[in-house]
């Protein structure tokens, strides 16, 4: 069994991106810019935003964290997003979620133009993915596909089972694996006979949000198991997979922490650099 090392793989991806940007900058091109909008000061968001900012620094992306008052009105926030959308010097826009309850998250997110939607959260981005066209794949699925390929894990023709159908992870994950020629089954809370399905998976992606949900009897011998879960429990941070029980059955498995998490941040960097490169070509 091989541990899929997200920290190492993320480091490699960030180094590749740093080299790319250094070449552009040496050629006299302008800087790659990411704007991060954060409303209020949700403690979990503070940690995520700090990690994203650190990654930008390592890659050579000029990031700016725009902090907005937690009582900001919907219209003022929308105005801010639209001003960044119209600013040609900005290549990527990220609205850190969740937003305070009084704000309409979907309405704000949808204002990010597809060419700057480095989170891949808009309807247009998901639509482009569905038809197999160039848009932005959201960062967790993107990071997972990058990591599987980096370890030389074959995807074409394999049966991939995704548990979870969120807009940010489950759905784009299923579409991304379909675009990689996997045979994909999308499972969720209403799925009947879940165990019978997961036991046929060559690649099993757990994005359920329930600690230790995937047990050894749900996993086929030799499967590749990817754990998207980050669940805070009384026993500390736990994934969606019962790692200790499942690991021996797998050919490859991601740990929590140190698996998918670092890849998500690295793939945000990848999307931002892609947005920059596309803008240079236009």
How far apart are CB 42 and ligand GUN at their closest, in Å?
9
52 is catalytic: yes
Strands 62-68, 33-39: pairing is: parallel
How far apart are CB 94 and ligand GUN at their closest, in Å?
5
Q: Select which of 5, 63, 119, 240 is catalytic.
A: 119
**Nearest CB to ligand GUN, comparing residues 9 and 198:** 9
Q: CA angle at residue 56 from 68 to 232, to 5 degrees?
A: 70
How far apart are CB 179 and ligand GUN at their closest, in Å?
20
202 is catalytic: no
How far apart are CB 234 and ligand GUN at their closest, in Å?
22
**Alpha helix (H) ranges present in the chain?**
6-26, 43-59, 74-85, 105-109, 123-130, 139-150, 170-179, 194-198, 243-246, 260-281
**Nearest CB to ligand GUN, comparing residues 139 and 203:** 139
Instruction: Count how many Cα atoms sit within 13 Å of the Cα of residue 181 in the half-sphere of its side chain.
Output: 5
Residues near ligand GUN (CB under 6 A): 48, 94-97, 119, 139
Backbone angles phi, psi at 83, to 5 degrees: -70, -35
Q: Select which of 96, 117, 158, 227 is catalytic.
A: 96
Residue least distant from ligand GUN (Cβ): 97
195 is catalytic: no
**Nearest CB to ligand GUN, comparing residues 166 and 183:** 166
**Nearest CB to ligand GUN, comparing residues 2 and 47:** 47
Reduce the DSSP state of residue 194 to 3 states and report it. helix
**Nearest CB to ligand GUN, comparing residues 48 and 213:** 48
Neighbours of 88 (CB within 10 A): 7
Rounded to whole angstroms, the Cα distance separating 195 from 171 reads 20
Strand partners, 65: 36
Rounded to whole angstroms, the Cα distance separating 73 from 77 reads 6
How far apart are CB 264 and ligand GUN at their closest, in Å?
6
Q: Which residues of 232-253 are buried (b: 16+ CB within 10 A; e: fewer)?
A: eeeeeebbbbbbeebbebbbbb
Rounded to whole angstroms, the Cα distance separating 211 from 58 reads 32
Q: Select which of 14, 20, 33, 52 is catalytic.
A: 52
**Catalytic site residues?**
52, 96, 119
């Amino acid at each position: 069994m091989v541990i899929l090392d997200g920290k190492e793989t993320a480091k490699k991806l960030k180094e590749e991106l740093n080299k790319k940007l250094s070449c552009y900058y040496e050629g006299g091109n302008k800087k790659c810019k990411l704007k991060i909008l954060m409303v209020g000061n949700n403690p979990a968001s503070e940690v995520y935003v700090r990690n994203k900012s650190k990654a930008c620094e390592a890659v050579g992306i000029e990031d700016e964290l725009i902090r907005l008052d937690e009582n900001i009105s919907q219209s003022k926030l929308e105005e801010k997003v639209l001003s960044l959308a119209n600013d040609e010097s900005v290549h990527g826009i990220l609205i850190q979620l969740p937003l305070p309850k009084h704000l309409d998250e979907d309405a704000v997110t949808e204002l990010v133009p597809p060419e700057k939607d480095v989170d891949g959260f808009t309807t247009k981005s998901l639509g482009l993915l569905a038809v197999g066209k160039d848009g932005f794949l959201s960062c967790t699925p993107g990071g997972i596909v990058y990591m599987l390929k980096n370890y030389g894990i074959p995807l074409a023709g394999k049966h991939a089972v995704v548990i979870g159908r969120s807009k940010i992870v489950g759905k784009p994950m299923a579409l991304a694996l379909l675009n990689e020629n996997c045979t994909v089954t999308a499972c969720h809370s209403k799925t009947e006979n879940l165990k019978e399905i997961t036991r046929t998976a060559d690649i099993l992606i757990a994005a359920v949000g329930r600690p230790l949900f995937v047990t050894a009897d749900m996993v086929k011998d030799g499967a590749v198991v990817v754990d998207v879960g980050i669940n805070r429990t009384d026993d500390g941070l736990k994934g969606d997979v019962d790692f200790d029980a499942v690991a021996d059955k797998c050919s490859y498995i991601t740990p929590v922490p140190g698996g998918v998490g670092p890849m998500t941040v690295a793939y945000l960097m990848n999307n931002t650099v892609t947005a920059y490169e596309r803008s240079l070509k236009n």
